[in-house]
Chains A and B, each alone.
Chain A
Amino acid sequence: SGHITGDDQKLSLLPEMSTPVKLVDGENLQWCDNAMEFLVDQTNFYVVGILGLQGSGKSTVMSLLAGQLGEITGRQLFKPETRELRERGEHCTSGIDIYVTSERMILLDTQPLLSASVMDHMVQFEKKIPCGTDYRATENALQIQSLQITAFLLTVCHTVILVQDWFTDPNLLRFIQSAEMLKPATPTNPHELSASIEDTTDYYPHLVFLQNKCQRGDFSPSTVCDMEELLLNVFQNSKLKHTGSVWMEFIPIKDESLHMEVANLFLLPEREAEEKGVLPNYRGHPGFNSLGRSLTQQLMSVPRSTLTHTALSEKNWFHYAARMWEAVKKSSLFLEYGRLLP
């Protein structure tokens, strides 16, 4: 117990992060070292990343996980799209933002995948394409950039949340598996040449399918079952850990022992406004706050496997992540893939 108090003291001395900082900047997709000062040399941390299309609610979900949706202050931790941006059809988060909670949860919020708005920015401002001149066409550069962000998250996170605001874009599901294929191999220790293939297995994170802004109809058990079935079918041969760690607690599952074979699907409703009128609406779910808590708790208790063959401290993780980001950007796999695009 003395050890724990020691740790507590150490943690309490840490500078609190007031706002997320940049991990990868949106302009040139360069690595930023700003977050380093908020990380310490302890190994009990948990990295959660989020992926999704434009406007699906990535920043909101990340703020929810950090417990800072800004109900009182009116300021959400990760900035969501403003009304003005929405009217212009533009995205908000660019690059990758990082925030470390007091529970040592490292949250990575990303720019939207395959976003028309991101591409439009590239087109409009004749921006130098971040991936260099390797990709002739802007649309190819956009796709490769999105794949790189995804592959990076699949390499450095314990859990990756794929958030969608409708069910479901098959292209996005395919896209995740393309990124799985392109993600860099987990570096092996050159000193221990293992005898069997099993020892050199690559790292694969947990993948959680989060359906955001769900309607009442989405919460009916038969709909959830159908969604589960589709996801299980689509990810059947994927090595991403897509089952058994997160589920809809209040939706009855036919057989309790089947928990392990259930896709990590979670449904979040729209944040409800104040209920008006005498009769309450029938919502079909326990409400946003309750589901939000359930999601946070479940995500926190997802088993954390080590990202590399050796255990990392927070600081080690940061260096490892920086190395992986460079590896992803320079990987010949993406070049090869890019050449096949039309």
Chain B
Amino acid sequence: VSSLSEVDASTLPRDKVCIVSIFGKSSFLANGCKAFLIDEALGKNIFQGMFTDPGEINIDEPADIQGFYHPESRVIFLHLIGSFDTKCLLQKCHSIENELKEKTFLEVWSDLQCSFSKALLLIFHLSHIILVAHPTTTFDVSYIHLFQTLDSVRQKAVPCLTDLLRSFPISQDWVQAGRPCSPRVLFIFQTNAPEFQSESIDSSDGTGKTRSKKFPPIKRLEHALEDQIYRILRKSRVITNISGNSLFAVPANQEFVYVTSKKSLIVDPLGYLMNQLKECCSFPKSPGEMDPSKSKSYLLNRRGSIQNQTANDLPAFALTPEDGASEHSFKAFLWQHIDLALSKGFDDNVGRNIVRAYFELPTAQIWFQIANKLKNWFFMEPKDSRSGAVMSLLKTTLDIDVRFSEGRCAKVLPLASAAYQDNLPTHYTLDYHERKLNQALQVFAMHARGPAFQQFAQQLEEDCERLWQNGHQMCEFRSLTGNHCINPLHRASEDDEDVDDKTLPIMPHCSQVKMLSACDCGRRQASREDPFEVKAANYSFYSSLHDDCCGKLERIKFPVFTSTTGVSRPAQISPVQAHQQSEETRRKRHESQPGRGESQVTTTSMSLALSFGQPGSSDMFPTEESAVELSQGSEESPRQTSDQEVIISLRESKVTESPEKCTGGEKLGVLRQPSTTEYLPGMLHSESPLGLLPMFPSWSLICLGPSSLYSHNIGIQEQPGFIPGTNFLLPWDVTVKLEHKDRWPTVWDGKRPHTWKTKKGGKDGSQFTVKIFIGVEYECPRGHRFMCSAPDKVLRATSSGLVKDNANKITGNDMPLYFPCPCRGSKHQVAQLIRIHVVTPKAPVHVTLNPRVQAAPPPSPVFSPGNSEPVKLSQSAYWVLRLPFVYQGDQGPYLPPKDPVPVEVCHLLKGTYDIAEQISEKS
């Protein structure tokens, strides 16, 4: 097609010419060649080239039309090669491989068919005779729809074509119709069936009875096909009485079907040559044995090739010239139509029509000019809206599958959308949205079909997403206990950084989860909202109960930020900074350890040495190691005795100057000089930047009253929520060995209460035993409370109310932060270590507390109340340490486990409890 413009029309003779075109489907082996019959008729290798290889098919062009002008017979032959030719389709598929990966074949095929149809339209507007080649002997009914489509597009295109043709020296009929005539279409079929092979032999069936039929089988087939095709084309209104109104016409009184039976097209050169070789090597048969048909075709073959070699320089293996004597000849079949066209022209109107059909033969010169013009119009991008409409009509009429799919999907889309919107709450979570969307997609997948599926499924997804985001989104902000806020998407405050949309209403987060918690001291329970802020979780709730309960009790305060200027702002802690800080802190801590140890010693004037039943301790807290070293360094500390007492030696420190307390304080102050303008935004932990204190304490330490509040026979009282049998403290017997006898106040001599006894060995009163009661209390969100007697065991009193355990396992081990609640509920709850009860003895020692909590696996920080040294509890009193309700690091809260299973890594670290000597105020 592209080379059409290169033909120099002026050099052509001025003879009137007839145009014969051929198109159709061809098999892979035919190499896209359907025009072999024309080659055969002309006795020249024109279209098929050597061994049917048509050479490179130009696949970049929408269609490839090869042309040949045969001046002797005044015929221009056109051969259309396109996607109907398997060879061409293969190459096309190859070149659009990537497109085929994304698009379905249905879409690709409609594109291919569209460009092929344009080429067909061009041919139908330029030809007098059109041959439709079939590779088999059956009429291809898929052409009906194609012809109908071409006709409707043709009719629409007539005005455009009339405009294009006006300037040419052709008849008004041609200009008005857009074509020289209503072309004649002839159908060509191929067969390999043996009974059609040799038309010269009179057919006889198996019984030997010669059929008295007028025509050979191939003729009968041709006539049957002619009738069939005529009826079908009439019925489908492809052909009508007035040929000028139809896309084409078939002649009423001439044959228009030709079946070729000869294997004249050599599609398999190798096989052909091998057969030739075989025949050469065969013994010549005697004439009597000869199979007449076979020998004839063989001779014909040879004669043909010799003839053609002389006639044409090309070796013409592919040619078997027509036997002129044969009645059944393609040349005769075709030339009767060509001759008519060149003489009278066609008039294929039927019925009583007065109108004569228009018919015109152009000169080759004019024809080339017109062909060029029409070609441009059909294949160029449409310039005006009128031609654009014609092309889009072609595309839509052919695009049945895609149109069906789009229509179908568009119809199903609202159904699927409705499935999404069915029973939709006013606002809902992402998870719920995804589940509903999945349901909707399922409905869609059930009913939607075809190539448009993906596109519409995506639209459904977008629609649902938009609907959700358009006022149906739930806030889903996670509370500090891991529940999400159930309010519609909102801002928590004016300057909420998490939400971009500033038009959203401001309201507090709410998960609507209610919990039951006891107050600081544990004597009063109250329901609480699921906290979203640390302050509410760890401070506000508890202080709100102060008025009703424990507000007036003695309390040891943990360090908090105090503003001196009245201006306070949160310190900015970026994660990177925090990390650097933590590195720095760690290094500093290591550096300062000796100093800290010293300061500890100097403050208490005594160093502590611990010796446990199982030596060795958690290495999570570096300072612990120094304590262990200290204890192991003391040779005198006795091992655990048979009655499972824990012996703690109190040894006088090397530094005896008592007023050094203040020095220690200064030293601490150097280490952690609290800022008075900036406060710590979160909770205090081992990675917190130095010098910052929180606005509020997350911990509380309260003295419930005298030690007599607790009776080991009855257990804890006036503490609601305890699971029966778990409300006991555990005795912890500690042998205290006083190493600095001189400093021991004599006032205690002879007045020892029963809680501490002199050991046999220590006649001088330098060694005695104290009994401390300790309880590690867990609380679940439903307010159930219980004590643990070991890291893996809930404390249980015997049926008679006796407690056999002692506190050694809870003082000597890390205690889990989370423990499955033994309460019976539909869903098992996770209880959290919340309180430590200590009943101190009436002895000249202080029980000290130094709680540190590892709330998540390392490297997460260790939380502590912020005390610089172990907190000393007063003697003979009932103390309650309340731990934080939530633990929040710089990157967010450390959530409790979802399932009630013990978590190995979350612990209250051992080393919480200790004894320190009482220091007389007087000294």
Contacts and interface: CB of A to CB of B under 8 A. Distances in A.
B652 interface: no
Given A181-B450, A279-B278, A340-B404, A166 B141 contact: no
Contacts of A167: 27-29, 86
Contacts of A277: 282
B270 A341 contact: no
Contacts of A123: 231-232, 235
A32 interface: no
A167 B274 CA distance: 23
B236 to A, nearest CB: 5
B577 interface: no
A25 interface: no
Contact of A86 (B195, B205, B235): B195
Interface in B206-238: 217, 220-221, 224-225, 228-229, 231-232, 235-236
Contacts of A278: 282-283
Given A174-B105, A216-B271, A234-B105, A342 B136 contact: no
Contact of B106 (A55, A89, A181, A281): A181
A170 B28 CA distance: 11
Given A178-B401, A217-B270, A217-B271, A281 B105 contact: no
A230 B445 CA distance: 29
Q: Is the interface of B mostly helix, strand, loop or mixed?
A: helix
Contacts of A86: 137, 193, 195, 221
A336 B89 contact: no
A53 interface: yes
B93 interface: yes
A68 interface: no
A197 B145 contact: no
A230 B141 contact: no
B90 A166 contact: no
B105 A173 contact: yes
Contacts of A279: 278, 281-282
Given A117-B228, A236-B101, A340 B400 contact: yes
Nearest to A137: B236
Interface in A215-254: 215-218, 220, 223, 226-227, 229-230, 233-238
Contact of B29 (A54, A223, A229): A223
Contacts of A342: 145, 148-149, 152, 397
A54 B138 contact: yes
Nearest to A342: B148
A182 B152 CA distance: 27
Given A116-B141, A197-B438, A234-B105, A185 B446 contact: yes
A237 B217 contact: no
A53 B268 CA distance: 24
Nearest to A171: B142
Given A174-B105, A197-B442, A217-B271, A120 B231 contact: yes
Contacts of B112: 170
B897 interface: no
Given A117-B138, A120-B231, A333 B449 contact: yes
Contacts of B401: 174, 177-178, 181
Interface in A73-98: 83, 86-90
Interface in A249-295: 270, 277-279, 281-282, 284
Contacts of B681: none
B97 interface: yes
A314 interface: no
B267 A215 contact: yes
Given A117-B138, A142-B141, A88 B224 contact: yes
26 contacts: A55-B136, A56-B136, A83-B195, A86-B137, A86-B195, A89-B137, A89-B138, A112-B138, A116-B141, A119-B141, A137-B236, A138-B235, A139-B232, A169-B25, A170-B25, A170-B86, A174-B105, A194-B442, A197-B445, A217-B267, A223-B29, A226-B28, A233-B100, A234-B100, A237-B100, A278-B283
Interface of A: 53-56, 83, 86-90, 112, 114-117, 119-120, 123-124, 137-139, 142-143, 165-171, 173-174, 177-178, 181-182, 185, 188, 194-197, 200, 213, 215-218, 220, 223, 226-227, 229-230, 233-238, 270, 277-279, 281-282, 284, 333, 336-337, 340-342
Q: List the 3 closest A-B pairs by CB distance, nearest first.
A: A217-B268, A116-B139, A166-B27
Given A116-B232, A181-B106, A226-B28, 10 more contacts: A83-B195, A89-B138, A90-B224, A116-B229, A168-B86, A181-B401, A181-B449, A237-B103, A270-B192, A279-B281
